[in-house]
Amino acid sequence: DAGVIQSPRHEVTEMGQEVTLRCKPISGHNSLFWYRQTMMRGLELLIYFNNNVPIDDSGMPEDRFSAKMPNASFSTLKIQPSEPRDSAVYFCASSLAGGYEQFFGPGTRLTVL
Amino acid sequence: AQKVTQAQTEISVVEKEDVTLDCVYETRDTTYYLFWYKQPPSGELVFLIRRNSFDEQNEISGRYSWNFQKSTSSFNFTITASQVVDSAVYFCALSEPSNDYKLSFGAGTTVTVRA
């Protein structure tokens, strides 16, 4: 079975540009999570969805960040406009709802110059 | 308040030594779930184990073992006869119904196994 798929794996962009990160969860999982990992702040939950519906976006840093899940097999995290402080590794994870283990994608390493 | 505490920031051992990673959690829920994840230098987060609050049996998987003690709110992880490939950051995490089952991660313990 394929795990969680994320693209791109690496993204280098200039400040002010729009960045879109993509995620395909494991088939059958109904919860999807977006995390950000930095040395300074560790792993932070940005937003999560249950059955394609955003449940908690309290971790989204500011209005420049948005996330969508148009269907059960695809989600995007968009940053517009990007800033150097957004540089981090962004992980997508999926799970069954209700305390089950989350399986993480390989991450997208974002560098904003 | 930190829900999951991993007091050891870094541990360095020589190959074949055993290493124990401590994890202490805090929750008021009676049902909850505990997890360990491994993050090797390549960066991916690998799920290792899930334990629910009603199952206090210790678990062994190859060289890995876990000791869950509700009385001390601890869920410790031991690597027996460590190998260089065990070098990674290990995260303990807690999932609670009162927190929508979101994962609360500890800060992680970096394990370095020297040949």
Say if CB A73 and CB A25 are below 8 A apart. Answer: yes
Residues of chain A with pLDDT under 50: none
Q: Which of A48, A101, A104 sits opposite B102 (nearest CB)?
A: A48
Q: Which of A33, A99, A107 sits opposite B43 (nearest CB)?
A: A107
Q: Measure the CA–CA gap between B67 and B22, rounded to whole angstroms.
A: 10
- At residue A86, what are phi and psi to the nearest 5 degrees? -85, -5
Q: Is A77 exposed, middle or buried (0-12, 13-18, 19+ CB in 10 A)?
A: buried
Q: Measure the CA–CA gap between A13 and A79, rounded to whole angstroms.
A: 11
Q: Read off the pLDDT of residues A77-109 as tens digits, 9 standing for 90 and up.
A: 999 999 999 999 999 999 998 889 999 999 999
Please indicate whether, in this complex, the C-beta atoms of A104 and B44 are within 8 angstroms of each other.
Answer: yes
Q: Measure the CA–CA gap between A7 and B73, rounded to whole angstroms.
A: 38
Q: Sign of dihedral through CA atoms A38, A39, A42, A43? A: positive
Q: Read off the pLDDT of residues B30-56 as tens digits, 9 standing for 90 and up.
A: 999 999 999 999 999 999 999 999 988
Residue A70 CA to its chain's centroid (Å): 14
State the pLDDT at residue A98: 86
Q: Measure the CA–CA gap between A1 and A99, rounded to whole angstroms.
A: 21
The DSSP string of B48-93 is EEEEETT----EEETTEEEEEEGGGTEEEEEESS--GGG-EEEEEE
State the pLDDT at residue A56: 93
For residue A79, what are its two tokens?
């940053």
Span B17-34, average pLDDT: 97
Percentage of residues of chain A with pLDDT beyond 70: 99
Q: Measure the CA–CA gap between B100 and A56, rounded to whole angstroms.
A: 9
Q: Which of A89, A101, A106 sits opposite B50 (nearest CB)?
A: A101
For residue B112, what are its two tokens?
């370095």
Whether B1 has a pLDDT exceeding 70, the answer reads: no
Mutate to test the interface with B, among A23, A38, A104 (most CBs of B within 10 A): A104
Q: Measure the CA–CA gap between A4 and A90, rounded to whole angstroms.
A: 13
User: Phi-psi region for residue A58, left (φ > 0), alpha (ψ -120 to 50) or beta?
Assistant: alpha
Whether B10 has a pLDDT exceeding 80, the answer reads: yes
State the pLDDT at residue A1: 64
Whether B58 has a pLDDT exceeding 90, the answer reads: no
Burial B12-23 (b: 16+ CB within 10 A, else e): ebeeeeebebbb
Whether B75 has a pLDDT exceeding 80, the answer reads: yes
